[in-house]
Structure 1
Amino acid sequence: MKMFTKLYFLAIFIAIINAKETNVFMSEVFQIVLDPPMFNWTHEGIKNQFVYEASLLNSPDLPSWINYVYSDRHHAGFLYGVPPPKYGKDNVPLEVVALNKKNYETRVENLNLWINQKENPALFEVHMKIDNLNVDDLFEHERSEALKDIFRGQLWRESHRDLYITFLSSAVELGARKPLDPTEGEGVVIRLGSQSPFSTELIGLQEEIKPLWKVPSCPRDFKRTSVERYFRDAGFALDWCSFRLIDNNNSAMHQSRLKDNLNSNNGIDDEFILDFNDRWESYATADVPKRSYFGLVAVSVLIPVIIFLVLAMVLSFLLCFQHDEIEDEESEIFFFNLFHICTDYYHNYLIFKRRSANLDISSSAPNTEYYQAVLHAESLSNFPAQVRLSPDLHSHTNSPNSTMGRGIHCRPSPPPYVRPKFKPEL
């Protein structure tokens, strides 16, 4: 085990020694190109032939202040960022893994970033958002110099000696939306800094676009300023709603100094804080916060049950205790006679059935009409007085002496069948 540990640290030491050296400065944007010649490869014109992965040595990811982007137009990757003030480390070892997708060959290169203190850091910064560019566009020396020349020659002549880029990031990474047209640029947020105070031209420009500050982001061609021609001629479309002048009290260097003073007053070691931010540590299962759903379930169940019980008690009180005040004589009579319907119906059904049988027998006897009338009178005499006066036993013509009886469906019975007599000629 000890032998393995020694070999492990020896491999790390050899990798650091053989790593390529790169000097970067605090508060200034740096860029490192990751291309095939860096790994002794030759680009063969195949799109997305090479893939790059960069991270801290023996760590899964890059520090928070280093970003990576791949450019299809340049067929290369770019590492860029701004070292924070008083990082606490002079050397940042990086490991870059490259993959050739044509033959799946993998190669590894180590980089050492040496962080140096910036002499005469910027005290005044110009914050801008350029809508028609991507981050990799400003890695071209001609494009970035054209932007600086606008300020050095027209708007901020005092900064011609020490103007440099202090911040660079994609607008999408800062929360902006991607353009609807994929061919358009995503947008770039950039800051140019210098030690020279702002010129009268910049101060007047800020007063001109100050009414636009209430809008978080302006669409393209939303507002044209008096200096619009300088940027349009150079190929830059600025979002004037995001244009700001950051003076010495609000600059990034000043904020870092305030943070350093607070940390020193609280007894916090800056080196420990920055080293902790760049160190990746996995979470234990016991450290993962747990959420209890007992309270939510209890509330979601108890509240409806309580409401239901209250409503049930109110309805029971209204129906039980106030029932004596509700009196309806007709309803009482109806419910009293309701149970006699079935017995009366069954009794009437037997009488109707017997009368139908008597009518069938008498249909073949002589003097039929007289005999049916007699039977009908006898059947009526068998009914009680209430039943005889019932309208259900009368015909539809309200004639009490009708000879046509009703069946069980409360309608008149059909007349007896009589065979028709046909003429001989038919």
Structure 2
Amino acid sequence: MLIVFAVFTAGFLLVRADIITEAPVGQLFVYELHREVFQREFEPFHKVFGQVYNDPMVFKCNKERFPDLPRWLRFTQRDAYDNGFLYGTPLPRDQGRNIIEIFVINKRNYETFKERLVINVGPAVKQMPYQAEFFIELREIEKVLPAAVQAEIKLDIQNLWRTSRLEFVNITSALDRGGRVPLPLPGYFEGVYVKLGSDQPFSPCMLRLETAEHQRECASGGKISGDCSRCTNPINCITWCKSTLFDLSKPVPPAPLPTVGSGVLAWGGEFSPPESPPDRDFFPDYIVTVIVPLALVLILCLILSYIMCCRREGVLKRNAKTPDLQLYHHHTIQGDASELRRMAGGDRRTADRPRQCLQPLLMAEQAMAES
């Protein structure tokens, strides 16, 4: 009975319905992976005495049968104790069905859980010919993707744009735009670019961004006189000099067609090949690369030969400096060793008595002392 219950529980955890969501073309798509939702999936294995662990989790996302995500979709998760986010803006060529596999890894016991997210990318729902991009310096990408923070930013932009018909087009980290990685200290942020669009024209305040006076003030780095942005939350304040307007309502003139020629190349005259290069004397190079190294090797060989052959001490000179007692010991070592072997291997009664190696020298010294 327990085995059947375990199999049923495992099957219930593994077999789930796919999560289906829609993503219109040209609008920002954000899907938040909540840790507490997946924590319940591990609950039967983590519940101990009525307590559920707050385990760290890591999300791994990829397109089904592919090693990575679709080109328009990105994933971010700052820490194992933070939620993950799938976000991006699909283009018209990305329409279709995207099946995303989400693997949840429990970092406490390394158990895994798999879920499928189906994203149906459909045609554009709203036409947004007027778009504007703003830079928020005191934000990071994970802190801007939640819906509550997006609502705060949109409210500030609505007051600036003077319209409530705004939609997010894209959110990009400054690191993806070539920004520098901030220091891991409080008060340093990577920065975020937010792009919004609307079917309403820009406000007169926003049109100041395209004036030559505004560009000169931003280039000089001085005080900006035309900044009319307001922010209810100080960390949501935009950088006015890094704001850009995109007016897509004006038709883009087509590129000029290439001029069709006659197909015959113009006469360029007779071909004049370049002259041969002047003769070069390679003898100096030969001296530097061959003669000089050989001369150095020869000098080193002569020095080494002199040290090895002419600076030797010699046997006679060495013996003259060595005391007679030491020389006598040196010459009698072999004989004494043979005598010891003979005494050790033979009968002690038949072996010769050991000779005193120092007796001749002692007698000679005694004779010199008496004289």
TM tier relative to shorter chain: 0.5 to 0.7
1:18 alignment partner in structure 2: 17
- 1:36 offset after TM fit, Å? 2.9
The answer to whether the Cα contact below 8 Å between 1:69 and 1:78 also exists between their aligned partners in 2 is yes
Q: How does 1:132-143 map to 2 (within 5 A)?
A: 132-143=138-149
In structure 2, distance between residues paired with 1:74 and 1:192: 30
AA of the residue aligned to 2:63: L
Q: Are 1:62 and 2:69 an aligned pair?
A: yes
1:192 alignment partner in structure 2: 196
SS of the equivalent of 1:75 reads coil
The answer to whether the Cα contact below 8 Å between 1:223 and 1:240 also exists between their aligned partners in 2 is no
Relative to its length, the structure with more helix (as a share) is 1
The answer to whether the Cα contact below 8 Å between 2:103 and 2:114 also exists between their aligned partners in 1 is yes
Q: Are 1:27 and 2:45 an aligned pair?
A: no
In structure 2, distance between residues paired with 1:100 and 1:212: 52
1:100 alignment partner in structure 2: 106
TM-score, normalised with respect to structure 1: 0.50
User: In structure 2, do the counterparts of structure 1 residues 312 and 236 end up closer, same or farther at CA, with 3 Å as the change threshold?
Assistant: closer
TM-score, normalised with respect to structure 2: 0.56
User: In structure 2, do the counterparts of structure 1 residues 88 and 137 end up closer, same or farther at CA, with 3 Å as the change threshold?
Assistant: closer
Q: Runs ≥4 in structure 1, deviation > 4 angstroms?
A: 212-215, 222-226, 310-313
**1:152-211, Cα deviation, whole Å (9 max, x unpaired):** 22x211x312x0110111101210012235332211011111111111121124435322
One of 147, 155, 160 as aligned partner of 1:149: 155
1:210 alignment partner in structure 2: 215
SS of the equivalent of 2:133 reads strand
The answer to whether the Cα contact below 8 Å between 1:16 and 1:93 also exists between their aligned partners in 2 is no
The answer to whether the Cα contact below 8 Å between 1:96 and 1:110 also exists between their aligned partners in 2 is yes
Q: Are 1:131 and 2:104 an aligned pair?
A: no
* Identity, % of aligned positions: 24
One of 178, 192, 204 as aligned partner of 1:175: 178
**1:244-289, Cα deviation, whole Å (9 max, x unpaired):** 1110168xxx89xx99xxxxxxxxxxxxxxxxxxxxxxxxxxxxxx
SS of the equivalent of 2:282 reads helix
Structure 1 residues not aligned, in runs of 5+ = 1-14, 260-302, 314-426
**1:363-412, Cα deviation, whole Å (9 max, x unpaired):** xxxxxxxxxxxxxxxxxxxxxxxxxxxxxxxxxxxxxxxxxxxxxxxxxx
In structure 2, distance between residues paired with 1:74 and 1:205: 41
2:117 alignment partner in structure 1: 111
The answer to whether the Cα contact below 8 Å between 1:50 and 1:101 also exists between their aligned partners in 2 is yes
In structure 1, distance between residues paired with 2:65 and 2:93: 23
User: In structure 2, do the counterparts of structure 1 residues 211 and 133 end up closer, same or farther at CA, with 3 Å as the change threshold?
Assistant: same
In structure 1, distance between residues paired with 2:24 and 2:144: 18
SS of the equivalent of 1:53 reads strand
2:53 alignment partner in structure 1: 44
SS of the equivalent of 2:206 reads helix
The answer to whether the Cα contact below 8 Å between 1:209 and 1:240 also exists between their aligned partners in 2 is no
Bigger-Rg structure (1/2)? 1
SS of the equivalent of 1:152 reads helix
Structure 2 residues not aligned, in runs of 5+ = 1-13, 44-51, 256-276, 287-371
**1:302-344, Cα deviation, whole Å (9 max, x unpaired):** x9xx96616479xxxxxxxxxxxxxxxxxxxxxxxxxxxxxxx
AA of the residue aligned to 2:205: E
